[in-house]
Structure 1
Amino acid sequence: MPRSHKIVYAIYIVIWAILAINPKYREDWLLENILVFIVFPTVIWLDKKYHFTLTSIIFLLIFASLHSLGAHFTYAEMKFFDPITQFFGFERNNFDRVVHFLFGLLAFRAIFELVAPGITHVKKALFFTFTVVVTISAFYELLEWLAAIIFHPELGIAFLGTQGDVWDSHKDVTAAIFGALINLAFYRSYAKLKPF
């Protein structure tokens, strides 16, 4: 694994550790981090095996850091997003929606780098990557709901962050879809990653 990748992983560990100190709701923070405990080692293993580009690792660092920030404050009460909420006159704190959008935008490249070697045409690889991103996003919403009702039903809305919006999960998946679609505009740059 390149030294630059190790540095990025170390930066994330430091960010994660800082944001693990005195989170707003400890139980909510723990639930938000269950997937981090699984996904972070998996990403390192995949990087060792398939050799992500540095760009992909940096994109994942940005996404994971924002997720850790949301876990620290809870997505619904992320105070640093309040000025944006007030400026645009939103009725709810939309930090969670931004992070879902960034999942689609930023995780796309790493997923593409994983699936592209087995697909012979760049358009097919991009479409398959898009479907994987959407599937992961929808699956996360289901896991989030199951985790809330199984482990801590009393957290309910604090963990799910619906903020009274019955369509919250649908909008979160839609945000991820829009993030993923932006990547399709960079078709030529993806074609350069691998000779199709």
Structure 2
Amino acid sequence: MPTGNAVTRYFPHGLAGIFTAIWLILAINPVMRDVWWAENIPVILVFLALVFTFKIFRFSNLAYGLMACWLILHTIGGHYTFANVPFEWITDLFGFERNHFDRLGHFSIGFYAFPIAEFLTRQRLARPVVVYLFSLFAIMALAAGYEIIEWWYAVEAGGEAGIEFLGSQGDIWDAQTDMLADTLGAVTALVLFRFSGIKADN
């Protein structure tokens, strides 16, 4: 899509390189290898999907930037386990009772509403109202589905691995709050999309 200078043209390539370097570094000696695998399978699948579809459909640089946020944050969470990411300065600054890095990760999942809306708009697959509603509801459905997967993994794995993957940290409303964070991220992304100026392809 972008046809400007070299920085604009190769922005996704640069992001891919940065992410790959971060992923390789954080793949070394994670806190819990089994949890690392469970957290990184979706990261690997999303990254490979973006790589292999790049020549078929190139998203805007803003969309790639937003998608990279989740890839990087989730990779960090997979290395430390989300409950144990060094995030104490935020916890102490706001007086939180738990590590909220996982909320930040869930909020960034919502950013994928932007590329969904971009794809539907540029391909002329829906009218604007449907684009926004579908993009929002797609993220909300994904959020609910992921909470079910977390529940299933926690039951199957059991023990410390199950607890760390679930990452509730004693919060009885963890699943609901995670889904709210996903939704708020999606709303934020769609507001950005509204003012991005992205239109249907010619």
State the match for 1:103 in structure 2: 109
What displacement does 1:45 show? 2.5
TM-score normalized by the length of structure 2: 0.86
Structure 1: distance between partners of 2:191 and 2:11: 28
**Residue in 2 that maps onto 1:91:** 97
Query: Which aligned segments of 4 or more residues in structure 1 are displaced greater than 6 angstroms?
Result: none
- 1:130 has 2:133 as partner: no
Structure 2 SS opposite 1:47? coil
Give, in whole Å, the separation in 1 of the partners of 2:48 and 2:119: 16
How far off is 1:46 after superposition?
3.0
Superposition map of 1:26-45 within 5 A:
26-45=33-52
- Cα-Cα RMSD: 2.0
Structure number with higher helix proportion: 1
Corresponding residue of 1:9: 16
Question: 1:121 deviation in Å?
Answer: 2.0
Q: CA deviation at 1:37?
A: 2.5
Q: What is the deviation of 1:187?
A: 5.7
Q: Aligned residues: percent identity?
A: 35
2:91 maps to amino acid: T
Deviations along 1:61-86, whole A, 9 cap, x unmatched? 1221111111111110111x111111
Report the secondary structure of 1:48's partner residue: coil
1:55 maps to 62
Equivalent residue pairs, number? 192
Measured after TM superposition, the shift of residue 118 of structure 1 is: 4.1
| Equivalent position to 1:24, from 27, 31, 37 | 31
TM-score with structure 1 length normalisation? Answer: 0.89
Q: Which moved more, 1:45-54 or 1:28-37?
A: 45-54
Give the unaligned 5+ runs of structure 2: 2-8
Deviation of 1:195 after TM superposition, in Å, equals 4.0
- 1:64 and 2:71 are equivalent in the alignment: yes
Residue of structure 1 equivalent to 2:181: 175
Q: Secondary structure at the match of 1:119?
A: coil
